[in-house]
Amino acid sequence: MNIKAFLKRNYLIKNIYVNILTYKCKNIYKTNYTKRALLSYSTAPFIKKKKMYIHPNYVENHTIAEILHRYGYIVDVYNNTFSGKINYKKYDIIVGEGLPISNYFFYKEHYILTVYYATGSHPFYNNIQSYKSLFAFYKKYKYFIQSSSRLIDFKWGIGASLSDYLILLGNDNTKKTFEHYIEDKSKIFNLNPPYYKTNVISDFSRKDKNKFLWFGSFGLIHKDLNTIIEIFSKHNEYELHICGYISGEIEFINAINDILIKSKNIHIHGFLSIQSDDFKKLMEECSFVVLTSCSEGCATSVITVMGNGGLIPLISRQCGLDIINGTMLHETTQEQIEYMIKNANNAYSEDMIRKFSEENIKYIEKMFSIDLYKRNIGDIFNNIFSKNKQ
């Protein structure tokens, strides 16, 4: 395990890092407005000066902060996991997700406009789904590996349920996970996330219908990587390429290591920069991306490889993504996932794969561009501020 992964998994060190060293960035635009906004998301994009092509939340953080700045707010940014004391008296609006917005409802002393910015499904739904995946893994492997879940502090669900307005990244399936808790549905706004367009391929001649990609972040059991590995271990005629912070979840790797050792057709690449030659090579050669996660807001990892490589998605409905080509499963049993993979390989000719790949790139460029995201979220905030005046 590398040092970075160890530090992330060590709760005490991580808590010190988040709560003391990077928990907030005060008045990021150095303004002297009379109104003040608290953005509860991530301070990393404001601490690191260099633009980061790791996750589109870099764009999201800066865009929301700029909108609040344009509306005349001093902008303070807190990490969404910050659990310390906040002087809410000085704020007029709170935007974001996590503890800083949720804790406001515990220590409420005066009214503050709250806008919950949901990057995942409803926290309560997310946790139920994540526990289900952990229990299923335990029954099969006899390991309970909570570090490979995506469990969220229950308090996140309070902000997601009680805020005045809700902006959520995802489709109508994602929206359904919130509707039970939100009485006025007109206060829920769907929004497509942005994606990084960096290494878009133009030559589809190297696409191989036997090559599949799993592309994701942490929470490997939550994202059902174990099932995908089990399926491909039985099908040597296919290749599975796995990209992500796999080394950070060593307990998961140890639990399924026997399968990995025996499966010469499964290749673990670890984290790959989307600007790298290795990433571009996978975009040129892989035909399909597989993600059967149990809960997402909108799976930006799938959007990234669709937009840069045209990969055809084989996904669960919980990925929160509407697709034009590919397969979306409503139920994700191992049998159904295996059938989906085999059917895609058998049903799609090389000409179809090239055609669908080109269409997927155009679709993602049209629906998930950074410019479109900025316009749409700007319109949403304009709507919210107009309603709030009334």
Q: Per-residue pLDDT tens for 10-43? A: 544 555 544 555 678 999 999 999 999 999 999 9
Residues of the chain with pLDDT under 50: 1-2, 4, 11-12, 17-18
Contact 69, 75 (CB under 8 A): yes
CATH of the domain at 248: 3.40.50.2000
Contact 145, 226 (CB under 8 A): no
Is residue 200 situated within a structural domain? no
Check residue 23 and give its pLDDT.
75
Same structural domain for residues 161 and 251? no
Check residue 388 and give its pLDDT.
85
Count the Cβ atoms, other than its own, within 10 Å of residue 27. 13
Residue 311: closest CA among 356, 370, 363, 274: 356
Is residue 288 situated within a structural domain? yes
Q: Which residues contact 361 (CB under 8 A, 6 or more apart)?
A: 200, 306, 307, 308, 309, 310
Check residue 82 and give its pLDDT.
95
Q: Which residues contact 78 (CB under 8 A, 6 or more apart)?
A: 23, 24, 38, 39, 40, 41, 43, 86, 96, 100
Separation CA 210–CA 308 (nearest Å): 19
Domain that holds residue 323: 208-367
Instruction: For residue 34, give Cα distances in angstroms to 31, 72, 155, 348.
Output: 9, 8, 30, 60
Is residue 202 situated within a structural domain? no
Is residue 225 situated within a structural domain? yes
Is residue 127 situated within a structural domain? yes
Same structural domain for residues 279 and 357? yes
Same structural domain for residues 129 and 216? no
Check residue 390 and give its pLDDT.
53
Same structural domain for residues 376 and 348? no
Same structural domain for residues 10 and 149? yes
Q: How many folded domains does the chain comprise?
A: 2
Check residue 301 and give its pLDDT.
97
Mean pLDDT over the full length of the chain: 93
3-class secondary structure, 3: helix
Same structural domain for residues 188 and 303? no
Q: Report pTM.
A: 0.92
75-103 pLDDT, tens digit per residue, is 999 999 999 999 999 999 999 999 999 99
Stated length of the chain: 390
How much of the chain is in helix, strand and coil states, percent to nearest 5? 45, 15, 35
Check residue 109 and give its pLDDT.
82
Check residue 11 and give its pLDDT.
46
